[in-house]
Structure 1
């Protein structure tokens, strides 16, 4: 009698990256076993031929699941929900309207969130050069819009008042916005939303930087 042994997913990550954290967080929430590999970003390992064969853009996260290799954090969330949960629609939308709403937040996470709080954090945590005024303005606009959305809908989560992949896509860089000098003090609904996610069974935090400890 033979037993099929399923190898765990391999996640290539940078532990300080919010894009990587949301993939790790989601796998913890859906209880999918995985191992991690930390490419040496300082030496440019992620720009070497071996890594570029997995992701031609030379970016983390990347996952390998058997013979499948995927990059882009939002694409990975969609794949994991579809391939590794019993109810993909719970995470990706049960109606056309929900599907569209979740995809909209995916777009926000790749747009305003990336250009706002995530970019602000790049300067303080990774030493990147950014247009501070523009980044802070983008962050303020995003947070104001998100705060209003949560308040008007009177919801605990971003879509249909239940946890979906939209919340996972947005959480990491919003929760760690203060690391980039973006205050969350005046956004009570966002802070409540953060608390709802952090209270989930299986939640794992992204490590805070030393700078964050001084700034929060």
Structure 2
């Protein structure tokens, strides 16, 4: 039987209506954020005169506050869309450290900074755009996102997607554990592992856990903690 959580997860995964192609563009994301922001403001306005006499000032203020946050996100996403399309010049290196990014960072050693910034974050892109303005003023060479990232992106998965897939994997393992018969305590289908004294334990025995992980990883396409295949990459 499908529970409410699984139904919600399936609904969340249905993203086809958000994009024209296989993957959402930043321009499409900016448009959706802007549209959602407008809807929240419209809802706040409608709630000023509800069908029943209830004072909803707190909810209205909250909706307007959230719409302001979405407006900022939409503007930022539109800026990032222009930057990644190549409309906005970007500095070739990070100011101060001189560290490269994109293709140029592939062979760089930046262990102290958590590794080379091959795939920049949104904040790094914004900073690179700001640095480019000053770089051009000093006659320094700049680049564009398409130039700096040429050939990068195939098989790439965001940190958010990796974390979500890890949570989904762990949830599947937790269910699979209870389907296995434990070789240490003989706990069967639907039963928790037990101590030698018969006390139930929340954590399964290592062998039972390992067997469940192996089955789930094979089914979902994992090798240890790492995804073997990145869907839709």
Larger Rg: 2
- Shared fold, TM over 0.5: no
Q: Normalised by the shorter chain, which TM-score bucket?
A: under 0.3
TM-score (norm 2): 0.23
